[in-house]
Structure formats: structure tokens, C-alpha cells
């Protein structure tokens, strides 16, 4: 049984609604939107590449950089956060700040509850950093 199937079974068992899809590269992914306390909505994605030895956790749309003259402030904050957080990797793509974490897992050996806990940790990091990205765009 693949890790994606193990995770899907877990979602059904604990009644967590996530949309399942498959991309053109063969990765199976599960996604859901989550509102942040500070305002805004992010897209949380858990994806399983076809080689079944990795899991990618992504939070998309943490911040939208509307003022390109403030991008250096945003990059400085991303560098600080990437140094201070153990698990998260903050990135920018096309003016959007995202959070990513990837790790190895043996085929058919996924601990789905631990995976969801890691996604909750990443969401907490996103929650904590969202106001700081808003400030970086003001300063």
C-alpha cells in the first residue's frame, strides 16, 4: 500500500476533509484551504511524489508581495525565519510567500498522525509569521 493510500485512509478514518488530486508528474496530493487568525487564507497541500519515498508539505499564499520596492524587506525576513525555524523553509515565487517542508519516509511506512501534526506545526509557523510579512511590506 502506498503512503498516499495510507494517508487517504487516515483522512477518512478521522473525518478530515481534503481534496485529493493527481498532477501530470504522477504526484498524488491532498489540499485544503485554511483561514489565518490574522486574516487571509492559505492553501495547505500534502503531496506524495510517485517514487513514494518523500512527502512534501506546502502552505501557499502566506503573503502576497504587492509592492516590489519592499521585496528586500521580505527577503530579509524570510532569511531570518529560515535561520530560526527548524522545519519550515520560507520561499517566494511570483510575489507569493510560501512555506515548505519535505522529508523522507519509507515506502508504505507513513505515520499519518505525525504527518498531520507536522502540518499543524507549519501552519502555526505561518500564523506567527503572517503579521511580520505584512509589517515587512509597510516598512
pLDDT, mean over the chain: 93
- Do 130 and 36 contact (CB within 8 A), yes or no? yes
The total of structural domains in the chain comes to: 1
Q: Could you read off the pLDDT tens digit of each residue along the chain, which spans 139 residues?
A: 899 999 999 999 999 999 999 999 999 999 999 999 988 899 999 999 988 788 999 999 999 998 888 899 999 999 999 999 988 899 999 999 999 999 899 888 899 999 999 999 999 999 999 999 999 988 6
Phi–psi pair at 24, nearest 5 degrees: -65, -20
Strands of 89-93's sheet in order across:
19-22, 28-35, 41-48, 54-64, 96-104, 89-93
Instruction: Note the pLDDT tens digit of each residue in 82-98.
Output: 999 988 899 999 999 99
In 3D space, the residue among 90, 16, 95, 3 whose CA is nearest the CA of residue 55 turns out to be 3
Residue 63 in grid coordinates: 503573503
Instruction: Return the residue matching grid coordinates 502552505.
Output: 59
Instruction: Give the pLDDT of residue 86.
Output: 84
3-state class of 117 per DSSP?
helix
Please tell me the pTM assigned to this model: 0.91
Domain that residue 132 falls in:
3-138
Distance, in Å, from the CA atom of 42 to the CA atom of 15, rounded to the nearest integer, reads 21
* CATH number, domain with residue 10: 3.30.1460.70
Cβ proximity of 54 and 104 under 8 Å: yes
- Torsions phi, psi of 82, nearest 5? -65, -30
Amino acid at each position: 500500500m502506498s503512503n498516499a493510500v495510507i494517508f487517504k485512509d487516515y483522512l477518512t478514518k478521522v473525518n478530515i476533509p481534503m481534496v485529493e488530486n493527481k498532477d501530470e508528474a504522477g504526484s498524488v496530493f491532498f489540499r485544503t484551504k485554511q483561514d489565518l487568525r490574522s486574516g487571509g487564507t492559505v492553501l495547505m497541500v500534502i503531496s506524495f511524489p510517485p517514487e513514494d519515498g518523500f512527502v512534501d508539505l506546502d502552505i501557499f499564499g502566506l503573503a502576497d508581495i504587492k509592492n516590489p520596492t519592499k521585496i528586500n524587506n521580505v527577503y530579509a525576513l524570510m532569511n531570518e525565519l529560515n535561520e530560526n525555524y527548524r522545519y519550515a523553509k520560507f520561499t517566494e515565487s511570483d510575489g507569493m510567500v510560501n512555506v515548505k517542508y519535505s522529508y523522507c519516509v519509507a515506502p508504505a511506512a507513513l505515520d499519518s498522525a505525525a504527518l498531520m501534526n507536522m502540518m499543524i506545526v507549519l501552519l502555526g509557523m505561518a500564523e506567527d509569521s503572517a503579521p511580520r510579512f505584512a509589517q515587512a511590506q509597510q516598512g
